């Protein structure tokens, strides 16, 4: 089974992430940050990765530590569930339109983290959520998941739509990348001999 659980406890947060790469997109995410929970639900639903997250953070300060640390733990859980990455497609790409927003994601589960980010929000907040935290989450996910991640915004006027299109686009690209490749069998998707 391609499943993993990761816990992370610091002076700022206490995080538990459980995932199943071969799920149906069932999510149960409780971080104390409403908009972030909504985005994590989109990530789970559109990647078909079952996701359970519990987070307690220093929200009396702000949402930053909670959002970033969930990204760290999720990246670590993804790495753990993928194991040596035998038989996966490895690469994923998705171009997603949501109303005024259009986001293109390309990613490689390469174990070489790198983030290219050309997403710009017209507002600093979505409700009480700081829009800059969207990038912080994906930076943490990329770094700790060993993902080369390119996220490019082609269009977008509404911050909520831009954020949601971003999570959905990354989810669909991730879904493709973690899928078993029936032509590959148990081989590694690399010429290097290891990922």
* CATH code, domain with 173: 3.30.230.40
Q: What is the pTM of this model?
A: 0.97
Q: What is the mean pLDDT of the chain?
A: 98
Beta bridge partners of 126: 129
Write down the pLDDT at residue 128.
96
In a domain, 61, yes or no: yes
Q: Which domain holds residue 102?
A: 3-178
pLDDT in tens, 123-147: 999 999 999 999 999 999 999 999 9
Q: Is the pLDDT of residue 95 over 90?
A: yes
Write down the pLDDT at residue 137.
99
In a domain, 109, yes or no: yes
Give the chain's domain count.
1
pLDDT in tens, 37-46: 999 999 999 9
Write down the pLDDT at residue 1.
84
In a domain, 67, yes or no: yes
Write down the pLDDT at residue 106.
99
Work out the widest C-alpha separation in the chain, in whole angstroms.
51
Q: Is the pLDDT of residue 36 over 90?
A: yes
For residue 183, CA distances in Å to 63, 179, 189 come to: 43, 12, 11
Of 71, 80, 9, whose CA–CA distance to 36 is shortest?
71
In a domain, 134, yes or no: yes
């Amino acid at each position: 089974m391609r499943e993993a659980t990761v816990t992370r406890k610091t002076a700022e947060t206490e995080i538990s992430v459980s995932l199943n790469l071969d799920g149906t997109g069932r999510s149960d995410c409780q971080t104390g940050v409403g908009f972030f929970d909504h985005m994590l639900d989109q990530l789970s639903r559109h990647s078909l990765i079952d996701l359970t997250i519990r987070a307690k953070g220093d929200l009396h300060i702000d949402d930053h530590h909670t959002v970033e640390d969930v990204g760290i733990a999720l990246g670590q859980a993804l790495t753990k569930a993928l194991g040596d990455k035998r038989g996966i497609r490895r690469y994923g790409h998705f171009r997603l339109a949501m109303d005024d927003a259009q986001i293109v994601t390309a990613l490689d589960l390469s174990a070489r983290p790198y983030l290219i980010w050309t997403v710009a929000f017209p507002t600093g907040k979505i409700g009480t959520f700081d829009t800059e935290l969207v990038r912080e989450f994906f930076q943490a996910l990329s770094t700790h998941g060993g993902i080369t991640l390119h996220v490019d915004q082609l269009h977008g006027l509404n911050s909520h739509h831009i954020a949601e299109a971003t999570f959905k686009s990354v989810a669909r690209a991730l879904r493709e990348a973690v899928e078993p490749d029936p032509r590959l069998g148990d081989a590694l998707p690399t010429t290097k001999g290891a990922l």
